[in-house]
Amino acid sequence: MAAPLELLLQRHSVPSRQLGEPAPDEATLRELLGAAIRVPDHGKLVPFRLVRLAGEAKLRFGERLAELAIRKQPELSEAKREKERLRYTFAPLVIAVVARLDDTSKVPEIEQRLCAGNVAYNILLGASALGYGAQWLTGWAAYDPDVAAILGLAANEHVVAFVHLGTPQIEVPDRERPLLDELLGTWTP
């Protein structure tokens, strides 16, 4: 195992329910996010932005989502209502990574989305490098236009990731990974 690649080889997601205090402090968070936004960006569009959910705001956000879920599915069980309400409260910090798509640009939409996705992944890698845990989650809320309105997103914006950040409360075992030889091919003319 090559030492320079150790971070990539050891990276894994920590379930949001297993992320506790402390989250990165403000200075560390700014350093982490500043590094995370250094992504490939065809056309220099900066097709992303970040929304912080912290403290009481996480609970309020979850309550709004639970209300919305109940309106959309009145038969939703009490357990699922509570799950929606508490979904964003486990990790001490959640960063919503938002794609801002410019449909007037020559840069294809998929490249703009991937750019935003790279920001989310860089947050995961950076958190791991700093000794924190993180999990990239989406779920129905990432794709719902009413949730986008709650977050104050514009018509050309959507959530690509809710990145939950904190300190791992457990040692997370690695999962089985795919074999490179089953994925790598060589094109020949």
Domain for residue 181, yes or no?
Answer: no
Q: What percent of the chain has pLDDT over 70?
A: 99
List C-alpha distances in Å: 186 to 66, 124, 180, 182, 183. Answer: 49, 30, 12, 12, 10
Q: Alpha carbon 79 to chain centroid distance?
A: 24
Domain span at residue 131 reads 14-162
- Residue 21 is predicted with a pLDDT of 97
168 vs 145: CA distance, rounded Å: 32
What's 119's domain CATH number? 3.40.109.10
* pTM: predicted TM-score of the whole model, two decimal places: 0.95
Domain for residue 106, yes or no?
Answer: yes
How many domains would you assign to the chain? 1
Residue range 131-145, pLDDT digits in tens: 999 999 999 999 999
List C-alpha distances in Å: 70 to 12, 43, 83. Answer: 33, 42, 12
Domain for residue 118, yes or no?
Answer: yes
List C-alpha distances in Å: 108 to 43, 45, 83, 153. Answer: 10, 11, 37, 21
Query: In this structure, how many other beta carbons lie within 10 angstroms of the beta carbon of residue 31?
Result: 14
Residue range 41-65, pLDDT digits in tens: 999 999 999 999 999 999 999 999 9
pLDDT above 70: residue 17: yes
- Residue 3 is predicted with a pLDDT of 86
